[in-house]
Structure 1
Amino acid sequence: MKKFGKIFGLIAALLVVLAIAAAVLAKFLITPERVRDAVLPLAQKALQREVQLGEIEVSLFSGINLKNLVIQERDGSEPFVAADQVVLRYQLWPLLFGQVVIDEVRLVAPKIRVARLADKSFNFSDLAGAGAQEEGKAEAPPADADKAATPINLLVSQVGIDNGELMFLDYGINAQAPYRYKLSELQVSARDISLEKSFPFSVKSRLNGSTLAIDGEASIKEQGGRAKVQVTNFDVTAFAPYFREQLPGKLGSLKVDLDLEAQAGAGSVASNGKILLRDIDLVLEAMQDAPIRDTRLGLEYRIRTDLAASRLDIETAKVDLNGIKADLAGKVENLKAKPLLDVTLAIPDLDLRSALAAVPKELVQGAAGLNPSGKLNARIHLAGTTDAPLKLLQEGQLTLDGVQVTAGGERPSLSGVFSLKGDSVASDNLQLKLGDNQANIGLKAGNLFGKPIVISSAVTSERFLIDPLLKGAAAPAVAGEEAKPAPAAKGAPASEIGPFDLPLKADGTVKIKQALYQGLSIDNFDMAYRLIDNVLTIDKMTGNVAGGTFSETATVDLRKKGLAYKTNLNVQGVKAEPVVAVFMPKASGTVFGTLNINGEFSGTGTLPDAIKRSLGGNGKLVLADGKLTGSNLVQGFSQFLNLEELRDLQFSQAKGSFTVENGRVKLSSDFSGKDLRMAPQGSVGLDGSLDVRLDARISPALTDKLDKKGKFTQFLKDQEGWGQVPVLVTGTAARPSFALDTSAIKGQVEQKVKQEVQKKLQEKVLDKLAPAEGEPGKEEPAKQLLRDTLKGILGN
């Protein structure tokens, strides 16, 4: 133990001796004059600028303090760098060999002025080539240079800046009023600096109110390193002059927060972290009516770049736009020329209501009234070059889960899957729900990015209520009443729709086992349609209704303003009463019987006035076992004839033909019944106006009741005793007006008088002029002449 104690004592004594020796040598080797003589020429030669240095302090343990260091600008007008202190620390061991080795340099409270000049050069641009230029001019050192030189060597392994300030002035944009940016509270440190090994460094500062912190390692040999970067509350708008022209709009506000890591090596860069853009206030030129206000965009990512292969691998990228989230992964190749993408984009569980609230309200103001809800899930694979963005879509899937919108006071719901591949899409298990309604939809579409888009659909349903779909639509016009169009916007006259130029080619079918409209059941509804060159063709529309059937074909030309349409309608065996009750509710209970219609119609325009002017057509109508009752027409006719028995008009058959032109329906018909026979002729206007002549014939019993004294009807009876009452109907279907057709009565009376005169002449004269029995053809010439003359006068 005593032996070891002696050894430690010797070592301690040796250290004390060395410390004393180092202190003595430091005092001898490091003097303010030698430091000034070493530093100033070296700095001025390297910087080619005037360098000023204040007091110099030398301490064994605190090192060398250079106070009030000033490096002037090239023209000497103002300081380029000014530091309160420059601390140089030296190694103690080399002092024992007569050498001063400076291994740490630290600037205290430096103020650095960096300027970009009007010619786009910097106030330090000359420093990059100064050393090379002077190196060529340097003279060989004198032979006794080693003896005269100060034994101070710079072998810096640690550098630092304490509480520094960097002011950047940019005269390159505005030479008269330069832009100013201030980097304050600057703290920089790097230690163990080596050309062979990596060394740590850190940077902390404040920039225009934001904070910046960088911690990492650098490798000079590997030309790389790693760093962790944190930026808080960085105001991008302060740097707007540098990107304003490239921005397609006006940026009012944008703050950035960064928390990321990066690693760089020979030919590769990897990074991961979070980027948050917040307080975004942007008005895009293309969307000036929909400014982006108070928006947040977050990105959490992990990427790797292979510079040699010109490739970017996106391991993950999670985007969050005001709560709208999306995931991106894949790769981008050929970065230096024409980028080639191969990425997958996923949008998980997108809540439509939240998404609508997340985007600028002006951008979706049309959708706000629809009040969308439900969820979307999307997964899309994009591959190809960025110069053909529409061709990037390779495949994908869009899943709808209870997606709803408000339409016509109802909220239909759509669920199912859309599968995308290239430029085509197809649905799978797509279901539409509306209250108690449910329909299955099969949909295929192709050539999505070309013209025309080709669509094929098939809709099927077991039971479907039509009423909810038509809520809010105008009610059908009652016969005799003018249909009222939906009111136009205040101050704007109603205008025709169209023409349309839809880039579509479509076909499809609709099959509904039972459709219900206001209680009327339409069974086995079957429709097939196609749209080619903006002409819609309904090849078939059939179904069963009210005990009968209907079928229709039609074409609608969308290329014309107001559209142009043509239709063929066939109705067979349909009960009239339930159909009239639904489509003409005010006439409900007035028409009964079995209805057959066959007609063709055509026209242009969708507004009432246009329809009246252009609608044309013709057809035939048959009403079997019919009854007309309760309507103003029937009641008015009964009152006009004062026959209570005619308040219900019953017919075994009513048939006729019609022609539609110039806003009127021309009729030619024949009604046959037990008490009444009619042959209405004339026209009915599409506005309900009437101009119809009823050649009414009343049964003998009612004829006698019509004129009990027989003074009138004796001239208006046919051979079977039916009373002939020609009636003229004018006014409107809602308010008809009845009058006797005097011209027809006059003709009937004249005919009746002729018949009576002829009868009397026959009895009194002609029968007596007839040849004697058994002598046919033997009539005298005079008698024959008399008979022919009377026939010419009487018309028989």
Structure 2
Amino acid sequence: MEVFEAAMKYWIKRILIGLVVLALVVVVGVAIFLLTFDPNAYKYKLEEMIQARYDRSLSIEGPIELSLFPRIGLSVQDVSLSEAGSTEQFASIESARVAVAVWPLLFNQLVVDHVTINGFKARVVRGKDGEFNFSNLVNRGDGALVLPERDAEPETPAPAAATDTSNLTPAQAAAGATALGAEAGAAAVNEVSQAIRRTEMQIDIAGLDLKEGDIQLQDAQSGMAVRIANLNVATGRVTFDQAFDVSLSARIEGGNPRVDAGLTAQGLLKLDPAAMKYGVQRLDMRMDGRLGDVTANALTARGNLAFDAGLSALDVSGLEVVFAGDMKPADKAAKPLTGVEATMTVPRLSAHPGRLHLQIEKLVTRATGRWGENPFEFAVDAPALNIQSTKASGQALTGRLRVDGEEAMNVGLGLTGLSGTAQALDIKEAKLDVNVKQGQRLIQGNVVSPLSLSLLQRMFALSALKGEVRITDPGLPNGALQIPVIGSLSADLSKDQARARLNAVLEGGKFDLSADVTRLADPLVKFGLAVDTLDLDKLAPARLPVKPQPATGGGDGSGTPPPAPAPAPQPKPVDFSVLNGVTADGSIKVGELVVRNLKASDFGAKIKIAQGKLDISEIAAQLYEGKLAGQLSADANGNQLGAKLSLSDIAIDPILTDVRGQSHLSGKGGLTLDLRASGVNSDEWRRTLGGTAQLRLRDGAIKGINIAALLREARAAASGSRDEGDISGPRQTDFSSLEADLALAKGIATVRRLEMAAPLLRVSQGKPAELNLVDSLVNLVLNVRVVNTSTGQDGKALAALRNVTIPLQIAGPMDKPVYSLQWRGAGSEALRRSLEDKLAEEIERHTSKLPVKPTEPQGTGEGGLVEQETVKSLGNALKGLLGR
């Protein structure tokens, strides 16, 4: 026994000595290795490997420092990586330090010491093909993405194909840019998770510090470009599938859309890339600044969120979102939302499309602010909603919108009686109430119908829609107008189509509308509208009467000057941009139509909307004893209007009376218009109005002036005689034919040709010959010539003016023009002719009484007496001409 113990002691001693020697050898070897090993010698090898494998250039300008014990430590400086196949920089790091414990590696565990990265920069780009510029770094050698194996799950709808995003609003683009960054980050994390899953390695990081990061996000599909500057991230101990602290701050900047906002966030982050599950607890996010159309004075979000990327499932609890700021659309015609204060609270929300499950508890949304100049309130309440694959239940969902002011509006929505399943959801009653007040006009509408939904097939239908529209207005014939409506609405989102059938009773006649819509993201509408009676003047907002302004100059007798007249109301803008993004093709038929007091019957037209342009073609109607034909157009590009219309065999007097409220012209004939204009309101349309107009009338009259009577009065004044004509006749000038050609430019109509024939007169255009449609002024000179004095209106009284051209000027407001004869030249000629005729008559009368004697020498005999009598007769003739 003693021998055995002695032997054991001997061998233990030898083993211990051997271990000590081995340890010394290892320590000495490591020391020699650390003293002689130069990791910088491998720079070029690493750069060559990156170039060969990824077709990228790796540049390490700073030194590489390496430690092997007790941790494998690595620190580098000034590292950059190029784009694939390019010298353009993809990412760079000013400095980075990381250390890995050696012992856990033997047990397939990666324990990383605190990681510090300074000055990280990256440029993330998604091309038009949807590929990211880092794809070849995370893909397999064959280019195919390696997806982790997962248990079979219910299929979820495939994501929609990339669509044209050129018409995105700035707010949508801002959200898209944020989504692009999230998508890029998720793609990178998912690729890391695939590698982890293949190796089953457990990763444990003591902490991460990312300082002064700068990431640029660009999306070629939508044109978005966003920069995340001054990015700072700090974490606690990072272990996958366990929550860890994280805090973040950054500045988000962008030019398309305009983004300039600060972001801070903190919470407990949980990552399980292998299972594709991500979550955050106790989230506290704050943002302020500009996000496209939105200016956030304060935007905060608090709560807990969990997302399963594999199932596209989202779970939310205790979420509260608070917003204060303004929303000002880039479209100047749209009213801005200012002073907005909004909150949304969601105690619980669970959405699992793959399992056909949606649960909401006590969702409450509130918002107040100003819409333009008017205060508004908005609210949505969803107390309880539970939709599953086997059953569905829930309390009433309600929503309301209220806008106060001159154009008040109150909208209410209610969904009650939820039943069925997720595959076939039934809502007993879907109700919509709308009240709109415009001045003295009140428009009330209500619609109610059962609603059926299929979340799986993405279909919904309002099968028995019933409602009523009531318009109350003192200007209506009976003070009110009721329009009962029935019909149906349905949509099949999986087939990308919708359908509507509506029937109404309008003024005792039928109103039938059918519409079929395809390509819902870029709607293509085919429709047909048939109406018995349509009075748009009743349906449009009533025109407010213009208040008379007090006379100026007199005041009220107290010495106080009268108040300045109120400025004229500005015309409301009309924006044709609503035509963008809509494609429609249909027809309209109306039995009796009233537009701006213009009356027509048997109206029909074809309507087409495409690429922001509206074309109304094949217009045909009966109106004012004649016919209408032609086409109209509106173009969102420049807000342009166009009209090519032909009216044949119409009565011009009643049509002018209905359109303008008065008429200065009568007769029957044709009117041809080819006009164009552009602008955002009626004033600009008048200022830019251009084109041509042609008028052909017969057997009519110009009202407000009797040209023959005016000439007769002027002739009498010039000759010094009394006017013996009849002045009790109508103040109008009859004509047998009237032809006029006008050219319009910038709202000014120039008369290029004018020919009017009357029994007594002929009229043509002179200079100037303009109609100012912008300011409603006329400056027109008519050349009037008297013909056929033996017949016609006041012909004998105007015999002295026969074939004399007399300018007649018409000037002033179009409603009350001033007529004046330019008599200076024409009056002198007419007076000269009148004197010549009178003198000839007097000479003939007096000389006819003289005796006929033989001629004698001058001054002697009887012949001298004859000449003396002749001179005496001439004197008597002049006395008779002058009335003496």
Task: Please give the TM-score of this superposition, normalised by the length of structure 1.
Answer: 0.47
Higher-Rg structure is 1
